[in-house]
Structure formats: structure tokens, C-alpha cells
Chain A
């Protein structure tokens, strides 16, 4: 049943766009980008690490690719993975230091890093300074530059699908399950006691998370044909956290559902500015109080009902203690 539904969605994503008008394609592109960002963040959130600084890694990916293509004339196709690699590199370097910290300390240190990145991009003219870098080119494909919405949509779609498939399968590997065991300090100690090198797993997870965020950040930059410190802000980081929380941390589909629905909702509230923030926040609070497992908990209604009747306690596998 689920296979059929997925196949249908996939078919729609591939076959319908030539019929769609440019605005719909724009929304689709933004949704796909946000989904990958959210799923990238999910890798470390299910490990119990809350990051308010992912925009920093996204920015690193975006700027890398932008600079490579505008300053050095490197092909955009190479720029994408380069962006992912640079973000991953910084994640690896920072991870060694920050992953030792737990809870709010970690969150704030990642946030601090993102602010330093942003400040660095603003300060130096080689990065375009506060004005950023304009004229970031679209990739070339079979001789034409993909300047139309439709053309670039397929680029985004392919990148997103590849990333999501990888991230989905990651959760099902032994590596993925081991990450779950690192969710709190206590379980981490437990894991270490059976020989799991927690630091290595955490670092690898962080690197993977930031790689995909950097990769998609590069795609994002080439979509806008522009990068600047004001595109990748703290508000973006917060939005990603909200997508994860609203969707639910219990499964891969949670952040996906969260980001699709909230991004689409955001586009509807186009005239509304701060009303949109208000709606996001209210939805977030309602979900946290009423549905601690996020929206995907609704699909688990039958399981939840059974668990409750059997007296198995409250919320599903979503919490991460301090």
C-alpha cells in the first residue's frame, strides 16, 4: 500500500511539472530544498542534538559553489558536491569540539558558529560582503543553461531524491540504529560500555547531516542565482527545527511531512509577514502539547490506542533528555 502511494507521488513529481505553471514549480523547488534541509537536520536530531545553527553549514555549501562558479568558472555540477564537502569538512572540524557538549551547550555553540560564519561573509569583500554574490549561474545541460524554472526543477528533484533515498536508508542501517542509542547521556554511556565509539558515530552523523545541508545549500544558491548572509539566517535554522518538531521525530517521514506542509502553508500566507510567524508558532505549540510525537503520530493512531490500552505509557520514541 505504501509502495503504491510512493510510486504515485514519484510519478507525479516527474511527469506533472511540464504542465505546471512557473509559480507552482517555484513552490515545488522550495519545498524540495526544505525537505532535504529538514531531513539533514533530522540525522542529528534523532541522536538528541538540537542545532540552531544549521543555516551556517547551508551557507558554507552555498557560498562554496557560488564562489567556485563565479570566481573560478568551475562547472556548477562540480560546485554542488564541493559545497557539500566543504560543509562536511567544517562539520568534522567543529564536531570534534562541539559534539562533546550536550543539550543547550551544543545548540548554542553551533549557533555561535553559524553567527561567526555569517559575520565572516559580511566582513570580507572576497565573499561579497553584506551585498553577497549576485549572478550565480545556473548549470549547463546539453548546451543550454537551465535558466527556466522547469529545467532547474529537475536538477533540484534529482538532487533531492538522491539525498532523501540515502538519508532514508541510513536510518535502517546498523549505523542508523546505533545513532538512536546515543540519544541521551545515559544511553551514550551504556553504548560505550558495549564497545561503541560514541564520538566517532556522532561525528560521522554530524558530517553526513551537514554534507547534505551543504549540498542542498549549493542548489539553493544556484536557484536564487544569489547568495548573501541574509538568505541563510538564524530564522532558517529555527524553521528547520520547527519542521522537525511539527512533523515528528519518530520516523523519517516526520520531518518530510512537517516541511512539506509548513512550507506550503507559508506560501499561502504570502501577504501576511508576521501573521505567518504567528501561525507557525501557534501550530508548533499546539502540536507540542497535543501531539508530542508530531503529526506523523496521527498515522500511528491505532498503535497509540493499543499502547494506551495496554498501559504502555505516554509519548512514543521522540524525547531526548538533557
Chain B
């Protein structure tokens, strides 16, 4: 027993350390931008992309003047592990303890409890989240969606893709959550509009997020003989497995996806030849701008791995906001939000960006920018050119 006391005291000391009041993160002439995202756990790729994108943006924005003072962007990270409770804790800490008023927040599933806090404090939320109208609407003037939302993409891209492939039978297989169910709804609606051309919606199946065996769900779909299986809401690993298992069961058709942080190599590693005929939105087969390539190479050099898909959009959002802050000469989030919503940004790595969504969402808080489609062939992405519709 005597030998155990040091261990026990260590444990107690660690725990008591937990009660030390939180020291706010730095207090100089920093313009703090928070990343309230998952940086560990299954969704870490999304979060790390945002964090790193923000850090690159901080480097590139350098020292800038607002009013009569000089400022530098300081990135503060809060790990949410994609949990709603932890996101609430993170935002509380950011806004009330650390004086952070601007930030990137990931996750449709974690936004509902923080929207009231955002409204009450005027926090300017650069949201990397789906959930369409529920997030970006007239009641949340400081919430901006900085990525193309999946329902937006289905409204603009699905019909042209179906027409180009000349397929007739569409099915969906998505995770059994908000994102999956919402996307299935939008796909259904879009396909219904094509009824006159003989296109049918033939099945919708769901799997538990994190599942690895899609065999049974796929079987139910395959029996309906679909030509295209839309796999939205599914992460990279899942798509690769879905493709692999579907081919094992004899499916020869196409797959469509728009939210995964897809990297060609990852898919071909897992699925091999089975990954062919996956069509992904938001994947660039050819870099759209020099800035895109520069950021990709910078990431590869610094971290030794390929950049997660959220890197470029996070970078752009940060640079854009700093631009607008400089122009308006204030950090007041309401004023900046107004100005931001009216502005455009030509230096987005994907191409010229602006805001839209007035018609579909009731507020101009949805980013509108060039979105590509690519198709996987022999383990490499090839451009799949379609003429997307307009998103209002």
C-alpha cells in the first residue's frame, strides 16, 4: 500500500489541476479566429483541413490595419470531436472566456444548440455544414455557409449529370442521419422533375454511420437494377467500401458523391478497380487556379500528406473576412456580416466567389462558387464536364 501513494497523489494532483481557472488564450493585438471543429476522432480530416487552412490564411494575411491599429490573425483551436455538448462548451469558452468573435464551425449535427448562442452574442460563424435552410436563413444573419451545400449541389448538378450519363434508374444509399436523409429528399425531388424523360427513383437505403458492411442494404437496392447510386453524406472510406462491395454483388453502374473528403489514392487503395465510375462533386481533376496548387503543395510540404478537402474553403473564408474587416474598418460582427454578404471575392482558390441563397434560403448567406465534377477512371480523377444550373 505504501508504494502506491505516489501514484495516487499524482492522480489527485492531475485532477486538482483541472480546477485551476481557465486562463484566456493570449491578450495582445491579435485578431482571434477560432476553429471549433473535430481535430481528433473519425471526422478529424475535416477539422484539420479547416485548422490548417486558417493557419495558412493567417500567414498570408500577415499584419493588417484596422482603424489605427495593426493586427495579426491568431488561430485558436477547440476540439469538438463532433459532439453537440462539446461544441456548446467550445463556443461558450471561445466567446465568453477567450474573446473570440469569428470562427469556423463544422457540423450540421452540432449547430442547433449553438445557434441561440450565436444569435445572442453575434458570433460570426463561417459554417462548414450541410443542413441547408436550417442554418443559413434570415434569422441567423451572422451565419455563413462557406462550402457548397449538398442540397445546393444536387439542385445545380444532379440533373445535368443524369442527362449526360443518360441513366434512367436512380437510387440512394446514405448514412442514417440528418445529412443522409436530407440528401435523399433532395435527390428524390430533382429526379421527380425528370419524370417526363423516363427517369425514375427506384430505391433509398440507409446504413448506420460507421458501418462497414453495406452488403444487405446494397442487395435491396441492386435488386431494383439502378444505373446510378447516390452515396451522399458518406465519408471517403465508406464510399470506397460501398463501391467495392457493390461490385462484388454484381453492380456495374455509377456512383455519385458530393461531400466526402475524397482523395483518389485512398479510394483506389481500398476499392481498387471497383472505384471506377465514381463521380464526385467538388473534386478538381485539374487545379482551377494557381493558388489552389500552391496551397496543396504547401500542405504536402509542411505535413507530409495530401490536403484534406476543407483546406481551400477554410483558407478562402478567412482571407475574405479579413478583407471585409479591413474595408469596413471595424470588428463589429453585425456590420461585418452585412458587408460580407454584399461582397464578392475574386481570389478564392476555386475561382470567383459570391453569396447567394436569397430565393432558396431567405438570406444571402450561401457561398456560390465554381464547383467541378470528376469521374474516377483507373485510379485517377478525370474532369466530368457538365453545365450546372443556377443556385439562387
Most buried by A among B12, B16, B90: B12
In the assembled complex, A230 has its CB within 8 A of some CB on chain B = yes
In the assembled complex, B96 has its CB within 8 A of some CB on chain A = yes
Q: Contacts A130-B177, A131-B178, A266-B18 given; indicate if A22 touches B96 (C-beta within 8 A).
A: yes
| Chain A residues in 8 Å Cβ range of B88 | 26, 224
Most buried by B among A135, A266, A270: A270
In the assembled complex, A274 has its CB within 8 A of some CB on chain B = yes
In the assembled complex, B92 has its CB within 8 A of some CB on chain A = yes
B44 nearest CB neighbor, chain A only: A273
Cα distance, A287 to B14, chains bound together (Å): 11
| Chain B residues in 8 Å Cβ range of A231 | 83-85
List the one stretch of B113-121, B299-307, B347-355 in contact with chain A.
B113-121
| Chain B residues in 8 Å Cβ range of A263 | 18
Contact indicator A308/B93 (Cβ below 8 Å): no
Within 8 A of A (CB), among B75-91: 77-81, 83-85, 88-90
In the assembled complex, B109 has its CB within 8 A of some CB on chain A = yes
In the assembled complex, B165 has its CB within 8 A of some CB on chain A = no
Contact indicator B19/A264 (Cβ below 8 Å): yes
Cβ-defined partner of B84 (8 Å) among A129, A224, A291: A224
Cα distance, A248 to B21, chains bound together (Å): 25
B38 nearest CB neighbor, chain A only: A273
Interface majority SS (helix, strand, loop, mixed), chain A: helix
Contact indicator A267/B89 (Cβ below 8 Å): yes
Within 8 A of B (CB), among A24-69: 24, 26, 30
Contact indicator A268/B20 (Cβ below 8 Å): yes
Cα distance, A308 to B16, chains bound together (Å): 27
| Chain A residues in 8 Å Cβ range of B8 | 286-287, 290-291, 295, 297-298
Contact indicator B181/A261 (Cβ below 8 Å): no
| Chain B residues in 8 Å Cβ range of A228 | 84, 109, 112
Contact indicator B113/A262 (Cβ below 8 Å): no
In the assembled complex, A21 has its CB within 8 A of some CB on chain B = yes
Contact indicator B96/A226 (Cβ below 8 Å): no
Contact indicator A304/B1 (Cβ below 8 Å): yes
Contact indicator A265/B15 (Cβ below 8 Å): yes
| Chain A residues in 8 Å Cβ range of B89 | 26, 30, 267, 270
Most buried by B among A226, A272, A314: A226
In the assembled complex, A102 has its CB within 8 A of some CB on chain B = no
Within 8 A of B (CB), among A2-37: 21-24, 26, 30
Contact indicator A261/B19 (Cβ below 8 Å): yes
Within 8 A of B (CB), among A277-291: 279, 283, 286-287, 289-291
Contact indicator B84/A230 (Cβ below 8 Å): yes
Within 8 A of B (CB), among A236-284: 246, 260-268, 270-276, 279, 283
In the assembled complex, A134 has its CB within 8 A of some CB on chain B = yes
Within 8 A of A (CB), among B19-45: 19-22, 38-41, 44
Contact indicator B120/A147 (Cβ below 8 Å): yes
Contact indicator A132/B112 (Cβ below 8 Å): yes
Cα distance, A21 to B12, chains bound together (Å): 27
| Chain B residues in 8 Å Cβ range of A287 | 8, 11
Contact indicator A225/B113 (Cβ below 8 Å): yes
| Chain A residues in 8 Å Cβ range of B11 | 246, 283, 286-287, 290-291, 295
Cα distance, A24 to B20, chains bound together (Å): 12
Shortest distance in angstroms between B32's beta carbon and chain A's nearest beta carbon? 13
In the assembled complex, A122 has its CB within 8 A of some CB on chain B = yes
Contact indicator B112/A131 (Cβ below 8 Å): yes
| Chain A residues in 8 Å Cβ range of B197 | none
Shortest distance in angstroms between A20's beta carbon and chain B's nearest beta carbon? 10
Most buried by A among B10, B44, B89, B113: B113
In the assembled complex, B343 has its CB within 8 A of some CB on chain A = no
Interface digits, B126-158 against A, CB 8 Å rule (1 contact, 0 not)? 000001001000000000000000000000000
A122 nearest CB neighbor, chain B only: B176
Contact indicator B176/A130 (Cβ below 8 Å): yes
In the assembled complex, B211 has its CB within 8 A of some CB on chain A = no
B182 nearest CB neighbor, chain A only: A131
Contact indicator B40/A273 (Cβ below 8 Å): yes
Contact indicator A274/B81 (Cβ below 8 Å): yes
Q: Contacts A225-B113, A226-B112, A261-B16 given; indicate if A273 touches B7 (C-beta within 8 A).
A: no
Cα distance, A266 to B78, chains bound together (Å): 12
Cα distance, A147 to B116, chains bound together (Å): 9
Cβ-defined partner of A295 (8 Å) among B15, B20, B79, B177: B15
| Chain B residues in 8 Å Cβ range of A233 | 83
| Chain A residues in 8 Å Cβ range of B108 | 131
In the assembled complex, B223 has its CB within 8 A of some CB on chain A = no
Within 8 A of B (CB), among A291-307: 291, 295, 297-298, 304
| Chain A residues in 8 Å Cβ range of B16 | 261
Within 8 A of A (CB), among B302-346: none
Shortest distance in angstroms between B175's beta carbon and chain A's nearest beta carbon? 8
B209 nearest CB neighbor, chain A only: A130
Cα distance, A260 to B92, chains bound together (Å): 19
Cβ-defined partner of A122 (8 Å) among B21, B113, B120, B177: B177
Shortest distance in angstroms between B23's beta carbon and chain A's nearest beta carbon? 10
Additional 12 contacts, C-beta under 8 A, given A276-B79, A295-B12:
A21-B97, A228-B84, A270-B78, A270-B79, A271-B78, A273-B38, A273-B81, A274-B41, A274-B81, A279-B14, A283-B15, A291-B11
9 contacts between A and B (CB under 8 A): A26-B88, A26-B93, A246-B15, A265-B19, A267-B22, A270-B79, A274-B40, A287-B8, A290-B4
The 4 closest A-B pairs by CB, nearest first: A265-B18, A273-B40, A273-B79, A130-B177
Listed in ascending order, the chain A residues whose CB lies under 8 Å from chain B are 21-24, 26, 30, 122-123, 129-132, 134-135, 147, 224-226, 228, 230-231, 233, 235, 246, 260-268, 270-276, 279, 283, 286-287, 289-291, 295, 297-298, 304, 308, 314
